[in-house]
Amino acid sequence: MSEPLIRETFPVGPLACNCSIIGSPATGQAIVVDPGDDPDKVLAALARLGLKATAILVTHAHFDHVGGLARVREATGAPVYMHDGDKPLYDNLDMQTSIFGFPSIVTTTIDRWAQDGERVPFGDAVAEILHTPGHTPGSLSFHVADTVPLLLTGDTLFAGSIGRTDLWGGDFDTLIAAIHAKLLCFPDEAIIIPGHGPESTIGMERRYNPFLRQAG
């Protein structure tokens, strides 16, 4: 892989979930991560970038990350990957949306229950699946090798913060342990693309994230 990957990250939906499209310039194949809402915006971005989605990866099944899933899956024909630890959350989306006062969400088939360490190829690139539970039981992060490693961390790790653990199945100690085991092993220059808010790097979070400094 010589050329850098094509990447675009943009907020979708009322909670501004970051949706990312990452594509191989050599083959035009791409992954879509967290089409949380605004499926038309996601499909338009794919068309504008000249990319064809060959896999849809879901970091976790909170409603703000899966709202556009059904439309994007239908329109692209790409299989959806999710961890089965979040199946109960996906099966109970109406409970989630009603508690937070949002309209209900059309669900779709989950094609593949993703496993820790599984590799999802797209063109000449690969997304490696990392199980990083704690925000939810089935929370995933994705590692994509690029000119510097890319880490899509969902609501597990944010710039300067971590995911909340007071929602269904959340657990603080599990979350911290997962970040140390699966994410802080990457080099300082690795780019963090979180589920909400600005990007960061592993080096910045290792040094300045108040939830990681003492233990790190």
The binding site for Zn ion (CB under 5 A) comprises 62, 64, 155, 195
**3-state class (DSSP) for residue 30:** strand
Q: Decide if 32 contacts 42 (C-beta within 8 A).
A: yes
One DSSP character per residue, 52-109 reads EEEEEE-S---HHHHTTHHHHHHHH-PPEEE-GGGHHHHHTHHHHHHHHT--------
Q: Return the DSSP state at 84.
A: G
What's the one-letter identity of residue 10?
F
Q: How far is the CB of 1 from Zn ion (least distance, A)?
A: 30
Between 123 and 205, CB nearer to Zn ion: 205
Compute φ and ψ for 205, nearest 5 degrees: -70, -40
Q: How far is the CB of 91 from Zn ion (least distance, A)?
A: 16
Q: Work out how close the CB of 36 gets to Zn ion at its nearest, in angstroms, rounded to a whole number.
A: 7
Look at the block and give the residue holding tokens 């979180």. Answer: 194
**Shortest gap between Cβ of 26 and Zn ion (angstroms)?**
32
Instruction: Return the DSSP state at 3.
Output: S
Q: Which is nearer to Zn ion, 37 or 155 (by Cβ)?
A: 155
Whose Cβ is closer to Zn ion: residue 81's or residue 122's? 81
8 Å CB contact between 162 and 80 = no
How near is the Cβ of 66 to Zn ion at its closest, in Å?
10
CB atoms within 10 A of CB 201: 19
Least distance CB 108 / Zn ion (angstroms):
19
Nearer Cβ to Zn ion, position 54 or 196? Answer: 196
Whether residue 86 contacts residue 93, with contact meaning beta carbons closer than 8 Å, is answered with: no
Is residue 142 classed as helix, strand or coil in its secondary structure? strand
By beta-carbon proximity to Zn ion, the closer residue of 66 and 190 is 66
Compute the distance between CA of residue 117 and CA of residue 119 in angstroms, rounded to an integer: 6
The nearer residue to Zn ion, 62 or 182, going by C-beta atoms, is 62
